[in-house]
């Protein structure tokens, strides 16, 4: 199993389970591996329960709590206070992209849908810089699509006459 960790604001990995055990990481260290929908504290990861102790379920069985920047800076995770928080996900502009695709159907709006989805994918993998880059690209594609739609409307109206 390949495991990624998030320490000091940087994603590191992949590591094996044995390497993670040898690192003596704090239980609140954010981790991700194939099968997890998002980053979670290491002490709550089912596959790492033998290293960090039993995973503590939330109110619902199987529920986990992630540490996000929107939560207080020092959050209690697995009984340990932590100041490290994952940054918030950059905007995906997916709603704009989808609306523009339905209204204008330009190649730029279709590309915006793809890059918006890639923003979320990269964020979930811990690639925050990549997610920010994709968000910026998506924003520009949306702006270009809106501009082409505004310019194209009078041109198409003249062509109909």
Whether the full predicted model's pTM is greater than 0.75, yes or no, is no
Cβ of 23: how many Cβ atoms within 10 Å? 15
Identify whether residues 103 and 75 lie together within a single domain. no
Identify whether residues 77 and 9 lie together within a single domain. yes
Residue 45 has pLDDT above 80, yes or no: yes
Identify whether residues 38 and 101 lie together within a single domain. no
Mean of the per-residue pLDDT values of the chain: 78
**Domain membership flag for residue 106:** yes
**Domain membership flag for residue 87:** no
Q: What is the DSSP string of 110-140?
A: HHHHHHHHHHHHHHHTT-HHHHHHHHHHHHH
Domain count, the chain: 2
Each residue of 73-101: pLDDT tens digit? 334 556 555 444 557 889 999 899 989 88
């Amino acid at each position: 199993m390949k495991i990624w960790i998030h320490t000091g604001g940087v994603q590191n990995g992949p590591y094996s389970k044995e390497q993670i055990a040898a690192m003596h990481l704090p239980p609140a260290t954010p981790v991700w591996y194939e099968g997890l929908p998002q980053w979670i504290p290491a002490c709550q990861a089912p596959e790492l329960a033998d290293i960090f102790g039993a995973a503590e379920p939330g109110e619902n069985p199987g529920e986990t709590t992630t540490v996000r920047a929107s939560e207080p800076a020092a959050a209690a995770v697995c009984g340990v206070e932590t100041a490290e928080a994952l940054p918030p996900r950059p905007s995906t502009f997916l709603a704009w992209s989808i609306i523009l695709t339905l209204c204008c159907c330009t190649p730029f709006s279709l590309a915006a849908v793809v890059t918006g989805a890639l923003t979320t994918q990269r964020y979930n993998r811990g690639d925050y810089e990549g997610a920010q880059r994709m968000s910026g690209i998506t924003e520009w594609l949306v702006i270009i699509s809106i501009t082409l739609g505004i310019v194209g409307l009078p041109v198409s109206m003249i062509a109909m006459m």
